Amino acid sequence: MDSGYGITVLTLFPDLVREYFRTSIVGKAVDRGALVPRVVDIRDFARDRHRTCDDAPYGGGAGMVLMAEPLASALDSVDAKAQHVVFPTPSGLPFRQVDAARLSRKDGLVLVCGRYEGIDQRIVDEYVDDEYSIGDYVLSSGELAAMVIIDAVYRLRDGMLRSESIREESFQDGLLEYPHYTRPETFRSRSVPEVLLSGHHARIVRWRREQQLIRTARNRPDLLRHVQLDEAERKLTESIRDKESDDECNTGG
Ligand code: SAM
């Protein structure tokens, strides 16, 4: 286990984020010092007695913008320029497993949670290293997105999980994961696939790879472009994709 991974979150909703760091495996990682969270309330750096942190956008338009001054003071208070700063935003690059892996190799992270229409662009220009979107939808503020990013990142740190669990997960080898089963052997007349009971390791490995290919071809054919397939695998995935597009045509989808 390496030394504690520092994660600083700048937010207007500190309680929401603190609760996350107290919960489940993350909470345990914090208890044993593997994760060192710091939650900073942006309002503590507001300049007026109403603790105002937002103002109307220059140029007009709907909504408010998180002001540069309190954000800059909050960032300076944690020495953000000496660290890796991430801003979750719908305008960012899509956040992927490879990004989580890259961030897990940093010494630590600072996450800035946006709110309203977003944050003053000058903060992005001056402090932010990465802008990431967690999906093509708009959340009302950045805390959930920050927690998604933290969660994907910290579990890839050495010693957090068994390395084989991580190796076999979705996206690690460019494919989605195979299906899982546990006891009982039969549940509501649905049985566990016979191959998994066979004890035949090579057959199980083959079956799992095939299931990965089938799932990926059905749900995320875009991922297959980056995966090396042998001739049989290529035929299998093409037949699934052909069937999926036939089904779409037949249902008018
Ligand atoms: N006006 C912005 C736009 O159209 O892109 C949306 C702002 S959103 C209401 C407020 C904040 O929520 C953002 O600044 C960002 O921090 C966070 N947020 C919302 N959706 C997100 C997403 N898909 N990925 C990452 N962060 C998101």
pLDDT tens digits, 169-192: 888 889 999 999 999 999 999 999
Alpha carbon nearest to ligand 1 atom 24, residue? 133
Strand partners, 7: 37, 109
The pLDDT score that the predictor gives to residue 24 is 93
The pLDDT score that the predictor gives to residue 11 is 98
Judged against a pLDDT cut of 70, whether residue 218 lies above it is answered with: yes
- In order, the DSSP letters of 63-82 are S-EE-HHHHHHHHHHTTGGG
- Band of the pLDDT at 1, cuts 50, 70, 90? very low
In this prediction, residues 121-146 reach a mean pLDDT of: 98
- Residue 229 C-alpha to ligand 1 middle, in angstroms? 37
Judged against a pLDDT cut of 90, whether residue 166 lies above it is answered with: no
Return the higher-pLDDT residue of 246 and 186: 186
Average pLDDT, the chain: 95
Q: Is 145 in the pocket of ligand 1 (CB under 6 A)?
A: yes
| Site to substitute for ligand 1 among 10, 64, 139, most atoms within 8 A of C-beta | 139
Cis peptide before 37 (omega within 30 of 0): no
The pLDDT score that the predictor gives to residue 252 is 67
- Band of the pLDDT at 4, cuts 50, 70, 90? very high
- Band of the pLDDT at 12, cuts 50, 70, 90? very high
Judged against a pLDDT cut of 80, whether residue 236 lies above it is answered with: yes
- Band of the pLDDT at 195, cuts 50, 70, 90? very high
Q: Give the number of the atom of ligand 1 that is nearest the alpha carbon of residue 118.
A: 14
Tally DSSP H helices, then E strands, for the chain: 10, 9
Judged against a pLDDT cut of 80, whether residue 25 lies above it is answered with: yes
Judged against a pLDDT cut of 90, whether residue 65 lies above it is answered with: yes
Q: Is 137 in the pocket of ligand 1 (CB under 6 A)?
A: yes
pLDDT tens digits, 198-212: 999 999 999 999 999
State both tokens at 214: 């089938």
Q: Is 211 in the pocket of ligand 1 (CB under 6 A)?
A: no
Task: Give the separation between CA 27 and CA 21, rounded to whole angstroms.
Answer: 5
The pLDDT score that the predictor gives to residue 253 is 61
- Residue 66 C-alpha to ligand 1 middle, in angstroms? 12
Q: Is 173 in the pocket of ligand 1 (CB under 6 A)?
A: no
Return the higher-pLDDT residue of 27 and 167: 27
Q: Give the number of the atom of ligand 1 that is nearest the alpha carbon of residue 117.
A: 1
| Site to substitute for ligand 1 among 87, 89, 115, most atoms within 8 A of C-beta | 89
Q: Are 143 and 11 spatial neighbours (Cβ–Cβ below 8 Å)?
A: yes
Return the higher-pLDDT residue of 90 and 170: 90
Q: Give the number of the atom of ligand 1 that is nearest the alpha carbon of residue 63.
A: 1
User: Which domains does the chain carry?
Assistant: 5-163 (3.40.1280.10), 186-250 (1.10.1270.20)
Q: Give the number of the atom of ligand 1 that is nearest the alpha carbon of residue 91.
A: 5
At which residue do the structure tokens 């001056």 appear?
126
Distances (CA, A) of 245 to 75, 211, 238, 249: 50, 19, 11, 6
The pLDDT score that the predictor gives to residue 167 is 76
